[in-house]
Amino acid sequence: MDCIFPHEVEALEMLAGLRPRTSDAWIKLCLENLSREGLCTEGPNYRLTQAGKAYLTLVSGSLEPES
């Protein structure tokens, strides 16, 4: 797996429900890159994969949505 940039981590967090979804232009680019890495499914309906969940757990220690 290549280096994951902070915006890509934010995009994964959005897919996991940890952040509110946005439609900013950078999101689509991040999601396309993440799908190539296997961390989310291909669009247009991007979904977090098991690998994406594992990566977020590694980075944040939890997949529980923030309150």
pLDDT, one tens digit per residue, over 16-40 is 999 999 888 899 999 999 999 999 9
Determine what percent of the chain is predicted with pLDDT higher than 70. 88
pLDDT at residue 67, as a whole number: 43
- Beta partners for residue 48, in sequence order: 40
Among 40, 58, 57, residue whose Cα is nearest residue 49 = 40
Give 66's DSSP letter.
Answer: P
Report residue 65's pLDDT band, with 50, 70 and 90 as the boundaries: low
